[in-house]
Amino acid sequence: MPTSRSVVIGVDSSTQSAKAAAVDADTGELLALGRAPHAVTGSAGARESDPEEWWTALAAAVRAAVREAGVPAASVTGIAVAGQQHGLVALGPDGRPLRPALLWNDTRSAPQATALATRLGGPASWQDRTGSVPVASMTAAKWQWLREHEPHHAEAATGIRLPHDHLTERLSGTAVTDPGDASGTCWYGTATGAYDPDVLDLIGLDPALLPAVAPSGATRVGTLTPAAAEALGLPRTVAVAAGTGDNMAAAVGLGLGGAGLLDHPVVSLGTSGTVFAATRARPAAPGLAGFAATDGTYLPLGCTLNCTLAVDRFATLLGLDREDAAPGGDVVVLPYLDGERTPDLPHAAGLVTGLRHGTDPRAVLGAAYEGAAFTVLRALDELLAACGLDPAAPGVRDRPLRLIGGGARGRAWTETVRRLSGRPLVVPAADELVALGAAALAAGAVTGSDPVALTTAWGTGAGALLPPVPRDEETWDRIATVLAAATPTLLS
């Protein structure tokens, strides 16, 4: 293997692990993937992690990736981190965390989010300022929780970081974030491209505690510190990019952005379902997170709570394999086992209707797939409409729907989404889109190239194109009718 090969490292620091992709900067070839776990603790709504474990896992994953790639450490030229969004890291005078980080799925801050949403002119004003209304996941609500429940930690903090910000600072020594991850805090103005002073004043957060906002996630913010170089086993000359949040990095990995695909919808099927698209419009709509992308465009995102995990629960209850499903027919399942976020039904439970003595259990499982797919595709229609697009217009409807996440590898999921959407589907061949997107940010920091243009050239978002099938309007309308009828009483 030629030693002149330029290798970049893209790190996906997720809720439960770190994955480091060693990527050929010229071709986008994934040479190796290193992994290392870290723990999540907490109960009764608490979800926390020790950021020191993130750092240890990052270093272990990077070392494993370089070793398994079989390349000399000297060939590594750049690194970038894409991290789980919204988490709160409070730093002390020594630059180390004062306490475990509050994670995105820590719901203890729900009362603080509700109270904040009524301030500053109410939800519409928050959408106009920051793109999103405060909910428990947003960092502003978590900071408010810390001020109310642990004031000694809030008062002692000398720095406030998001997870990816903290790791980037450990790599480079520079306190920096990017527009994409910053847009998930509810204290960054997506309209102004800067921290909102009124929000900071409302929540009592000194802007001096926050990192600078780099122009993009591919901005070169420095090189490895001596301590970071030693921990990772890499040269100090390795360029460090500003990095971004995990959703923004996945968009880069798919080639979504100003130098690639705009207004092309994506559905991610995981524990939760998400829908997003890179767009030049700046939509502000209830139920949407009006994120910024990392390249200067926007990344509006909708999220449903019940997706693959909820359907798998139905398979378990029915004693069926997850792929042993049939069309639901007259059966309708709304699998809202954890309440639902989109639509906003936080107190909902699962609902099954249309059962008969002769109902095939496989049809019940198929109806669970249909109910979950309907919910996420309905959120997609709302997202497109908020971007000024007509979901039913041929020019919009005919754009391939990019299907990612664990569910995208399942036949039942794929066929259900095809049938209920009536759209062509692209299922990207690459699995590690967040890490690949981060690698493109690292390559951008090294060469100055646009990372979306790089992934477009690399083809990381490419995959099999599945032609559309006629949309199952009958099933769609049946689910919509049940949802409308049940919402005022059974689901609220």
Give the tokens for residue 470: 């006629």
How many alpha carbons lie under 13 Å from residue 353 in its C-beta half-sphere? 13
Cα angle 32, 33, 38 (rounded to 5 degrees) comes to: 160
pLDDT tens per residue across all 492 residues of the chain: 445 789 999 999 999 999 999 999 999 999 999 999 999 999 888 999 999 999 999 999 999 999 999 999 999 999 999 999 999 999 999 999 999 999 988 889 999 999 999 999 999 999 999 999 998 889 999 999 999 999 999 999 999 999 999 999 999 999 999 999 999 999 999 989 999 999 999 999 999 999 999 999 999 999 999 999 999 999 999 999 999 999 999 999 999 999 999 999 999 999 889 999 999 989 878 888 999 999 999 999 999 989 999 999 999 999 999 999 999 999 999 999 988 888 888 888 999 999 999 999 999 999 999 999 999 999 999 999 999 999 999 999 999 999 999 999 999 999 999 999 999 999 999 989 999 999 999 999 999 999 999 999 999 999 989 999 999 999 999 999 999 999 998 888
- Give, for 443, the enclosing helix (H) or strand (E): helix 433-447
Measuring CA to CA, how many Å separate 17 from each of 11, 14, 40, 49? 10, 5, 10, 11
CA distance 287 to 274: 12
pLDDT number for residue 346: 80
Please choose, from the candidates 130, 133, 128, 131, the residue with its C-alpha nearest in 3D space to the C-alpha of residue 114: 133
Torsion of CA 38, 42, 43, 47, to 10 degrees: -80
pLDDT number for residue 219: 98
For the chain, the residue count is 492
Give catalytic residues, as residue numbers.
Answer: 246
Please choose, from the candidates 9, 60, 65, the residue with its C-alpha nearest in 3D space to the C-alpha of residue 37: 60
Q: What is the DSSP string of 359-410?
A: --HHHHHHHHHHHHHHHHHHHHHHHHHHTT--TTSHHHHTSPEEEESGGGG-
pLDDT number for residue 117: 96
* CB 187, CB 181: distance < 8 Å: no
Tell me the pTM: 0.92
CA distance 425 to 402: 6
pLDDT number for residue 1: 42
Please choose, from the candidates 90, 96, 16, the residue with its C-alpha nearest in 3D space to the C-alpha of residue 54: 16
